Amino acid sequence: MAKTTKRPKADELDDAIVAPSVRVFTEWSPSLLRAAMQSAESGNLTRAVQVCEWLLTDERVEGGLGARGDALFGLRPDFEPSGDKRRSNRAVKALEAGEDFWAAYPESELRLMHKWGLLLGVAPMRHHWQALEDHGNRLLPMPRLWHPQSLQYSFPFRRWTLRDDHHREHEVVAGDGEWILHRPFGHDRPWAHGAWRSLANWVLLKHYARLDWARHGEKASTLVSEAPEGATKEQRRELAKDLKDAGTDRIVALPPGFQLKLVEVSANTERIYKAQIDAANAAITILIRGSNLNTEIKDGTGSRAAAESQAEQNEEPKLRFDAETVTTTLHDQSLVWWAEWNFGSRSLAPWPVYPVEPEEDLQASATTIKTLGEGLETLDRLGFELDDKAIKERFRLDFVKGRTKPDPAPAPVLPGAPAPADPADPKAPKAPKPPKAKASLGIRLASGAAPSEAPGFVGGQLFADDLVETATAAAQRALEPTLEAIARAIDESDSYEDLRARLREIYPKLDQTDLQELVYRALTLGELAGRHSANQDA
């Protein structure tokens, strides 16, 4: 396909290049794995690709890579516009509402691309541009994975090549409108950062452990013959042949003097080989997913918290990494050409955005807000000045709006006290302030500190003492009518029953409004004085 910015013609859409068949038939050993790694360092990835094919036969490798693909491609992406707003909105609408994205980039191909990108470090794809009538005759890229078995990198020429089914060599130029090279770990020696180099030895250990365990199962017990003294070599050979020919359900009649013994394997093969397999499985899962907690966690206290911590610290960052690398590859090497040939400018190519950020835990947020509110209320009572803007930013209270605080209610006045002065009247006397602590008062604090170090506390206590005395006197005056009525009933009664009847008669007529008002105002003044004292010492 021609490397041009012009929209391809119909006859240029035919596939002139066909990928070759894939052949994998190597039985791997430590020496062959080392040879594959050495060959890859020269830019020849054939053996490395064969190692990857072998690794995909392991259930942990295939399952781990599949789980990462499920986590990402199970999400429905949104699309961010770029370039001119009006034209970019048309491009976004075509990708999303017109379903160009899902038709051009099927999930199966994206999974293969990213799987090979993670495993090998590089995954080639080739566009198969098609103009579809049900998509407004727009030209769709339709990239497909090209199996990387013939992929080579030439260090002298700094270029990638691969071969087709006729062994013709083709240069692979990432992002030229024909080829895509997905390299999630970067452009410099991407194969050196692929997971295959770390996984190979663990999968080989697991493979050997399984074979040895099976071999021990076959040889769990062996018949051993003991020949009597003087037995000839021919006699022993005939006995061995007879035992072999007899099969599994054999009945043996031994010659005189011969004995058969069953020798069993004494080693705990499960402890030996299962431990190797478990260690390999754990290492494989950690290498691919970042942790093995999801697969190895046992029921018990802390399991849920441990799983949530793993998701936050291991799998969520890998999910964000996968989303960013896939998005960058598709945008820079494919969607720019889709935008160029359908909307006339590469700058209009939208960015796919996968919703990989975890959902907010509303219950935890509500608990935090409740605790925060209680703490702020306590700080406010102690007289601290709170920065509303800083609090909203620190705890992300975007939904909270400030409101004007109501004017404080006027301080209550004790019965019999003069009416409060009007603050607007310049001739009005100023309200008395709580007395301040003075050294001449002879006050000593229980802590041993000087009264001058806590003037608010000392002044508040003196004010409280005065308040008690004043309120006590006012309470006595408020109780005088009640006490006089009770005393009159006592004086006028001539018996206990008569007194009881008189008290029942006057009780509903007793008015305690003044006393209730007095107690309320005294308590309110005491609380306000305490706050004022705390503000002084803050």
DSSP 265-333: --S-HIIIIIHHHHHHHHHHHHHHHS--HHHH--SSTTHHHHHHHHIIIIIHHHHHHHHHHHHHHHIII
Whole-number average pLDDT of the chain = 80
**Secondary structure of residue 145 in the 3-state scheme:** strand
Question: What mean pLDDT do residues 479-496 have?
Answer: 79
Q: DSSP assignment, residue 398? A: T
Q: Indicate if the pLDDT at residue 2 is higher than 50.
A: no
Q: What is the pLDDT of residue 262?
A: 65
d(CA 335, CA 180): 11
Band (413; pLDDT cuts 50, 70, 90): low
What are 269-308's pLDDT values in tens digits? 778 889 999 999 999 999 998 876 554 544 444 444 444 5
Closest CA to 246 of 260, 232, 264, 230: 260
10 SS3 class? helix
- Residue-wise pLDDT for 169-183, tens only, equals 999 999 999 999 999
* Amino acid 183: pLDDT: 97
Work out the average pLDDT over 22-40.
86
Task: Indicate the range of 183-197, 318-332, 342-356, 487-501 predicted with least confidence.
Answer: 487-501
Residue 313 has pLDDT above 90, yes or no: no
Q: Whole-prediction pTM value?
A: 0.61
Q: What is the mean pLDDT of residues 23-51?
A: 90
Res. 36 pLDDT band, cuts 50 70 90: very high
The answer, yes or no, to whether residue 505 has pLDDT greater than 70, is yes
Region 190-199: mean pLDDT is 96
**pLDDT (tens digit per residue) in 88-106:** 899 999 999 888 999 999 9
Q: What is the pLDDT of residue 192?
A: 96
Q: In this model, does residue 529 exceed pLDDT 50?
A: yes
